[in-house]
Amino acid sequence: MKIHTRAVHAGDRKPAGAHVASTTPIHTATSYFYPTMAQLESVFAEESKGYCYSRYDNPSAAALEELMCSLEGGQSALACASGMAALHTAILTALTDRRRSIVAAHALYGQTVSLLMNVLEPAGIAVRFADVCDPAAFRSAVEEARPGCILMETISNPLVRVGPLDSIAAMAAEAGAALVVDNTFATPLLELGAAFTVHSLSKYLAGHGDVLGGVVVTNAAHAATLRALGRNVGPTLGPFECYLAMRGIKTFPLRMERQCANAAAVAARLAQHPRVERVYFGGNPSHPDAATIQRLFPAGLYGAIVAFDLRGAATAEVFRFMDALKMIVRATSLGDVHSMMLYPAMSSHRELSPKHRQRLGIGGNLVRLSVGIEDPEDICADLEQGLAR
């Protein structure tokens, strides 16, 4: 089945006695009992299917995890309380029985960099950053570090750089490293070859600004370790959030197609505006990674993030522009049905020093726009009236 169909049907309609609910119910029970202790023991021992305690598994979470495995082509998944919890769990699973070393793309979400530098490095895990868009330099870093894990984003936050995922996957296989890919910006519409795929469910998948959650999808080789780590660490996503995420996922392919088309229209309009110095968008023919994008991404589905530099603007001028927006929501997230804008230096990359941000190309005049499903003319009109202030 195609992804639009799988998004609607996968995970739902499990028999429950004589009836079958048309959508997965919200299962709030924390524990489960069986007619005999022998049956409960069999479930605890994972010799038979069933539920015993919701930190281990829950019918609502299991349905969402089945759905995500279907969308990403994985063998096992773990629904987590946030995208960062999912990423942390994926990295820990990847490093189990491997060298405690990570080679990460140098362009990452700021909180991901903070996780690597402030949590994992002090715990004895070596971290090295390299430019994933320079395959020769990245290969050299992998050969020198001999990592147990390679970490990257399909589309980097916020400058929308795209590394050659297929080449990086081959490097990881040669090095015996597990490739962990944060696929939040690209969504499952992009097929990956990673050992671990991570999503912030809060973004495009749920899509309506009402779910905080994350998910890890992995292959058969790592399935048992992922589930065991999930039991031990307990990053469990609640059943109500699982339900909302599944409800949002049913329409995510349609929303994403609309958002990508809108983003292309908005990027083209911004590129012509005299107050805009530079536009960062995956669909630009002049994008530095255009050849990689054309090879890896489905036509027209280049993401719905548009970042841009305000010409000669300092922080106060950026704030005046953002304060003038009437429809676009000033908020620290992305992927919702409504368009949203943030200031990376203040929010997504706040944890990084100004010098570190500058090295990554994140200047004080950069803003990030998550394009929604509104009429593109209305989005452009709001941007233009804000830029006119």
The per-residue pLDDT for range 69-116, each reduced to its tens digit, is: 999 999 999 999 999 999 999 999 999 999 999 999 999 998 999 999
Amino acid at 126: A
The yes-or-no verdict on residue 352 having pLDDT over 90 is no
Q: Which of 372, 345, 380, 6 is nearest to 209 (CA)?
A: 372
Amino acid at 190: L
pTM over 0.75: yes
Q: What is the pLDDT of residues 209-253, one digit of tens each?
A: 999 999 999 999 999 999 999 999 999 999 999 999 999 999 999
Q: Which of 85, 95, 77 is nearest to 150 (CA)?
A: 95
Please give the share of the chain, as a percent, with pLDDT higher than 70. Answer: 98
* Domain final residue pick, 249, 266, 295: 249
b/e map of 331-350 (b: 16 or more CB within 10 Å)? eebbbbbbbbbbbbbebbbe
Check whether residue 20 and residue 91 sit in a common domain: yes
pLDDT value of residue 191: 79
pLDDT value of residue 337: 98
Total domains present in the chain: 2
Amino acid at 233: V
Angle between helices 376-387 and 315-324 (to 10 degrees): 130
Give the CATH number of the domain where residue 296 resides: 3.90.1150.10
Check whether residue 239 and residue 267 sit in a common domain: no
Check whether residue 83 and residue 199 sit in a common domain: yes
pLDDT value of residue 17: 66
Rounded to an integer, the average pLDDT of 360-384 is 94
Residue with tokens 């990847």: 94
Residue with tokens 């349609």: 254
Q: Is 203 noted as a catalytic residue in this protein?
A: yes
Check whether residue 337 and residue 261 sit in a common domain: yes
* Domain final residue pick, 249, 269, 298: 249
The yes-or-no verdict on residue 32 having pLDDT over 80 is yes
Q: What is the CA radius of gyration of the chain?
A: 21
Rounded to an integer, the average pLDDT of 48-58 is 91
Q: Which of 204, 217, 219 is nearest to 67 (CA)?
A: 217
Check whether residue 264 and residue 152 sit in a common domain: no
- Quick one: which H or E segment has residue 44? helix 37-44
pLDDT value of residue 21: 86
Check whether residue 205 and residue 339 sit in a common domain: no
Confidence at 362, pLDDT banded by 50, 70, 90: confident
Whether 240 contacts 196, CB under 8 Å = no
Rounded to whole angstroms, how far apart are CA atoms 77 and 379? 36
| Residue of 6, 32, 51, 55 with catalytic role | 55
Check whether residue 197 and residue 311 sit in a common domain: no
**Higher-pLDDT residue of 380, 23:** 380
Integer angstrom CA distances of residue 209 from 212, 276, 296, 329, 387: 8, 28, 29, 11, 26
Check whether residue 236 and residue 152 sit in a common domain: yes
Tally of CB atoms within 10 A around 359? 11
Rounded to an integer, the average pLDDT of 276-287 is 96
* DSSP tag of 336: S
Rounded to whole angstroms, how far apart are CA atoms 341 and 339? 7
Cis check for the bond before 354: say yes or no (omega within 30 of 0). no
The yes-or-no verdict on residue 288 having pLDDT over 80 is yes
What range does the domain containing 266 cover? 252-387
pLDDT value of residue 14: 80
Which tokens hold the place of 238? 């609640």
Q: Is 247 noted as a catalytic residue in this protein?
A: no
Q: What is the pLDDT of residues 84-93, one digit of tens each?
A: 999 999 999 9
Q: What is the pairing mode between strands 305-310 and 276-280?
A: antiparallel
* Domain final residue pick, 249, 264, 280: 249
| Residue of 57, 182, 336, 382 with catalytic role | 182
Which tokens hold the place of 324? 């003038």
Check whether residue 231 and residue 267 sit in a common domain: no
Q: Which of 12-16, 280-284, 289-293, 357-361 has the lowest mean pLDDT?
A: 357-361
Check whether residue 124 and residue 70 sit in a common domain: yes
Please give the share of the chain, as a percent, with pLDDT higher than 90. Answer: 86
| Residue of 109, 243, 280, 302 with catalytic role | 109
Rounded to an integer, the average pLDDT of 162-188 is 96
Alpha-helical (H) ranges within 184-314 are 220-233, 239-249, 252-271, 290-296
The yes-or-no verdict on residue 348 having pLDDT over 90 is no
Check whether residue 245 and residue 297 sit in a common domain: no
Which tokens hold the place of 320? 């005046």
The yes-or-no verdict on residue 65 having pLDDT over 80 is yes
Give the CATH number of the domain where residue 234 resides: 3.40.640.10
pLDDT value of residue 15: 74
Check whether residue 168 and residue 211 sit in a common domain: yes
